[in-house]
């Protein structure tokens, strides 16, 4: 089981959970701003351009805040690319970078993707669409697999032997590179600086002076560079070294680093059951609202959870899936029906992955400002969201 990366409740320790409907996501725009300032400083000191990974966080009601600090964003296909341009993640007049990567592009979508994107990254040298895109005004990049596994879980390891993500570096030839101006790799997941350095040394040893061919190099995401224990100085030094040595523009595309500790998922205890264990049944669902809890899996931090608390509960989800559980938590005081709970660090890879399995209601979305205490409800979802997904 992967560890939670939450550093605690932060400002949410003083947030009144009854201020929002249940269930709800609540995002602290000031914590987002704090993370963005760190990323901006890294970019300023290193020369890197920093892009938001929309696959992690696509909350377009905060696009103007993000666009104020970052250099653009990266998309995973046509719909995210459209979202980036239409909702101003990349500036009203396209003055910021949009980089798009997909393991495979549909031929019917490629023309529009080329028009929207500044960088278009292909998964292998002979990928369908490379010749077409080369004739358009978009900078082509190639994703490589550095073939060095440093992740914490095989499910999140793009460098595995049979990975479909990126062209194996051991198979790369000089002729493979002719259409490409950029090099891209994404190998990390919620990690500090050391695995990036190891990965880069492997790439540099394998490619050598060939790296001078590229006008840009994208180091991907997975860098938890807004975490308090991250080696920011090491990252800045490496980026500066790469850009100077190879005369290229370096890009980073973090997702989680933008939103670390910036959101909570609020729910309510709707029933209690004492069988072979004490169950608190919630109107939340790991399956529907935070799928990574099951897919990773990991146990998310909970507001009020005490390691030596006298009252243990299994917090169960609202769907019929047996595995729909957030895990066991211990409280100082017994829970009652109607009590509110809040899982921490739930802004990233939650809203973008929600679903309506079992007809479970989607959480509302709220923006809170932890400095002014201003709260605004951005969106509430009703039955129509469920039925309109079906036919």
**pLDDT per residue as tens digits for the range 37-48:** 999 999 999 999
Same domain, 282 and 207: no
Same domain, 242 and 381: no
Would 129 be classed as within a structural domain? Answer: yes
Residue 2 DSSP code = B
Host domain of residue 138: 47-259
Nearest residue to 132 (alpha-carbon basis) of 115, 156, 147: 115
Would 239 be classed as within a structural domain? Answer: yes
Same domain, 100 and 160: yes
Same domain, 170 and 129: yes
Same domain, 235 and 154: yes
Contacts of 16 (CB under 8 A, 6+ apart): none
- Distance between CA atoms of residues 385 and 383, nearest Å: 5
Same domain, 299 and 218: no
Would 35 be classed as within a structural domain? Answer: no
Share of the chain above pLDDT 90, in %: 94
pLDDT tens track for 157-180 = 999 888 999 999 999 998 999 999
Q: Is the pLDDT of residue 28 over 80?
A: yes
Handedness of CA 202, 207, 208, 214 (dihedral sign): negative
Pairing of strands 375-379, 119-122: unpaired
Q: How many domains does the chain have?
A: 2
Would 310 be classed as within a structural domain? Answer: yes
Same domain, 236 and 366: no
Would 37 be classed as within a structural domain? Answer: no
Q: What share of the chain is helix, strand, coil (3-state, %, to 5)?
A: 30, 25, 45
Same domain, 58 and 181: yes
pLDDT tens track for 130-142 = 999 999 999 999 9
CATH code of residue 171? 3.20.20.10
Same domain, 293 and 361: yes
In this structure, what are the phi and psi dihedrals at residue 183, rounded to the nearest 5 degrees?
-120, 135
- Distance between CA atoms of residues 292 and 119, nearest Å: 29
Q: Is the pLDDT of residue 95 over 90?
A: no
CATH code of residue 274? 2.40.37.10
Same domain, 286 and 169: no
Neighbours of 12 (CB within 10 A): 22
Q: Is the pLDDT of residue 183 over 60?
A: yes
Same domain, 198 and 315: no
Q: What is the pLDDT of residue 93?
A: 54
What's the N-to-C CA distance of the chain in angstroms? Answer: 37
Same domain, 101 and 191: yes
């Amino acid at each position: 089981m992967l560890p939670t990366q939450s550093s605690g409740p932060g400002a949410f320790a003083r947030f009144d959970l009854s201020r929002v409907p249940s269930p709800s996501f609540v995002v602290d725009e000031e914590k987002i701003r704090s993370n963005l300032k760190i990323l901006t400083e890294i970019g300023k000191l290193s020369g890197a351009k920093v892009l938001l990974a929309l696959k992690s966080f696509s909350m377009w009601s905060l696009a103007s805040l993000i666009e104020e600090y970052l250099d653009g964003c990266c998309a995973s296909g046509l719909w995210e690319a459209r979202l980036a341009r239409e909702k101003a993640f990349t500036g009203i007049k396209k003055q910021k970078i949009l980089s798009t990567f997909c393991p495979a592009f549909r031929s019917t979508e490629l023309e529009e993707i080329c028009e929207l994107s500044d960088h278009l990254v292909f998964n292998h040298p002979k990928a369908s669409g490379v010749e077409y895109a080369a004739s358009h005004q978009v900078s082509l990049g190639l994703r490589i697999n550095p073939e060095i596994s440093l992740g914490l879980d095989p499910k999140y390891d793009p460098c595995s032997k049979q990975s479909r993500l990126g062209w194996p570096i051991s198979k790369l030839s000089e002729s493979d590179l002719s259409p490409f101006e950029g090099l891209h790799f994404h190998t990390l997941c919620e990690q500090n600086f050391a695995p990036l350095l190891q990965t880069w040394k492997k790439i540099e040893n394998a490619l050598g002076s060939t790296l001078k061919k590229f006008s840009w190099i994208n180091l991907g995401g997975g860098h938890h560079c807004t975490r308090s224990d991250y080696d920011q100085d090491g990252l800045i030094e490496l980026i500066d070294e790469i850009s100077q040595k190879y005369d290229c523009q370096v890009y980073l595309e973090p997702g989680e680093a933008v939103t670390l500790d910036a959101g909570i998922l609020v729910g309510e205890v709707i029933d209690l059951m004492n069988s072979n264990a004490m169950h608190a049944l919630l109107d939340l669902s790991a399956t529907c609202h935070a799928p990574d809890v099951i897919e990773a899996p990991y146990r998310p931090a909970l507001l009020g959870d005490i390691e030596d608390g006298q009252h243990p509960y299994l917090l169960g989800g609202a769907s019929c899936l047996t595995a729909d559980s957030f895990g066991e938590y211990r409280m100082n005081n017994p829970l009652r029906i109607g009590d509110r709970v809040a899982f921490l660090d739930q802004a990233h890879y939650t809203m973008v992955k929600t679903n309506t399995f079992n007809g479970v209601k989607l959480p509302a979305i709220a923006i809170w400002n932890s400095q002014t205490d201003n709260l605004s409800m951005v969106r509430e979802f009703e039955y129509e969201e469920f039925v309109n997904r079906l036919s």
